[in-house]
Amino acid sequence: MPVPDTLFCAQQIKIPPELPDIMKQFTKAAIRTQPRDVLQWSAAYFTALSKGEPLPVKERMEAPSAKTDAGLTPGLLKVLHNQLSAKGIVSVAELKEKWKDLCLPEEQLEAILLLDVFDEEVEWMKILALGCSVLGESLLSSMKHACEILTQDPEGGAARIPYETFSFLYCYLASIDGDIPDEKIKAFLQKIKEDTDQQSGMVLLRNFLSQPSAQF
């Protein structure tokens, strides 16, 4: 015997009061992030939301770039930083999962991991530095990306970061580069340290950009 059709009226359909706001925020997040695979990204979004974890969402839309059209961008690298930096040390498996959640090409991450010798766990700040090196065309531009991603200053501001963080990233990328003499590294950092001593220990983006480009 067929089941009779059930008639519904507006009073019978109960919509959770929080649903409209959830969907509104989700839609805004999708527009800002522009994921290449909406279904895959949506699953990651709602999984993170249900667990109270940082969402895989850009702070703002990015202008399209031919160089990074299908790969890593500063905005996506900052999303990964927000998700993974608090742990310090992360497993390669988790890194790959977060990378996939953002619909980034697996081969790009594999290429980044080949730039150094890593085991099953990685230091996040080293991955951030290597990600910046992919985005930049030189050590100078890589450090510029790092400052803009790590700063607590508003967009377009001084892009300050602590000297200790700057020094770590610079020395690490310089060691990966392998072509910068140790004495130039030390001289450059000494000059930056002198400047930061006048800025409460913070490196200002404009200060190191004004240094001789030959050191980069």
CA dihedral 103, 114, 125, 120 (to 10 degrees): 90
Q: How many helices (H) and strands (E) does the chain have?
A: 10, 4
Query: 86 lies in which domain range?
Result: 21-59+70-135
* 115 part of a folded domain: yes
The CA-to-CA distance between both ends of the chain, in Å, stands at 80
Residues 131 and 163 in one domain: no
Which carries the bigger pLDDT value, residue 127 or residue 153? 127
* 7 within some domain: no
pTM value?
Answer: 0.88
Beta bridge partners of 44: none
Kindly state whether residue 2 falls inside one of the protein's structural domains: no
Residue type, 135: L
Q: Name the pLDDT band for 17 (thresholds 50, 70, 90).
A: confident
Highest-scoring range by mean pLDDT, 10-14, 34-38, 151-155: 34-38
Asked if 84 and 54 sit in the same domain, the reply is yes
Q: Answer yes or no: do 201 and 128 share one domain.
A: no
Question: What is the structure's pLDDT at 16?
Answer: 87
Proportion of the chain above pLDDT 70, given as a percent: 88
In a domain, 93, yes or no: yes
Asked, for residue 187, whether it belongs to a domain, the answer is: yes
Query: Nearest to residue 135, comparing CAs of 108, 157, 113, 171?
Result: 108
Instruction: State both tokens at 51.
Output: 């667990």
Domain-embedded: residue 143:
no
Q: Summarize pLDDT for 68-97 with one digit per residue, the tens.
A: 456 999 999 999 999 999 999 999 999 999
Side-chain half-sphere exposure of 103, counting CA atoms within 13 A:
17
What is the three-class DSSP state of 123?
A: strand
Q: Between the CA atoms of 38, 43, 44 and 45, what dihedral angle is there, to the nearest 10 degrees?
A: 80
- Cα–Cα distance, 195 to 185 (Å, whole number): 16
Does one domain contain both 125 and 32? Answer: yes
- What does the radius of gyration of the chain's CA atoms come to, in whole angstroms? 22
As a whole number of angstroms, the distance between CA 50 and CA 70 comes to 28
Q: Does residue 160 fall inside a structural domain?
A: yes
Question: In this structure, are 40 and 126 located in the same domain?
Answer: yes
